[in-house]
Structure 1
Amino acid sequence: MEIKIRDEFIKLGQALKLAGVVEDGVEAKFVIQDGLVKVNGEVDERRGRKVYEGDVISFNGQDIKVIR
């Protein structure tokens, strides 16, 4: 799966919402804080983590590639 961003980066929580893998920001916050989300293969528990073009977010068995 891919998500397309307009700006230089998108925050991790927003990226999960954009990809449609979480319902809202509250759910995004909990799955990130619980260590269920990886960015480029590493667990990241910061909802405000900036993800850039080329980064890969892994959640719930799905890989989400950030493109521009």
Structure 2
Amino acid sequence: MVVIVKKEVLITTPPFITLGQLLKEEAIIGTGGQAKWYLREHSVEVNDEPENRRGRKLYPKDTVNIPDEGLFFVRSRREE
């Protein structure tokens, strides 16, 4: 049985966060420099589309699916 962890990621510096920043903020990688390597070695989907760019801008309402890590929902503090 596969358990999918769902988590909200709040953007504190609107209007966006990059995919590399999300990976680091969620402790999936240790440093920003590891993002390029991580995205080459692991499948990541943004809004149900494959993504491998660490600079991909993530806006509120975007979803990021990282197998074995979870499903992340990007939200803005303004939405609270």
Bin for the TM-score computed over the shorter chain = 0.7 to 0.9
RMSD across aligned positions (CA): 1.5
Moved over 4 A (4+): none
Matching residue of 1:4: 10
Find 1:34's aligned residue among 23, 37, 41: 41
- How high is the TM-score relative to the length of structure 1? 0.84
Bigger Rg, which one: 2
Amino acid in structure 2 at the alignment position of 1:67: R
**Structure with greater proportional strand content:** 1
Matching residue of 1:23: 30
- How high is the TM-score relative to the length of structure 2? 0.73
Aligned residues: 68
Identical residues among aligned pairs (%): 35
1:35–1:43 contact (8 Å) kept in structure 2 = no
Unaligned residue ranges in structure 2 (runs of 5+): 1-6
Amino acid in structure 2 at the alignment position of 1:16: L
Amino acid in structure 2 at the alignment position of 1:24: T
Unaligned residue ranges in structure 1 (runs of 5+): none
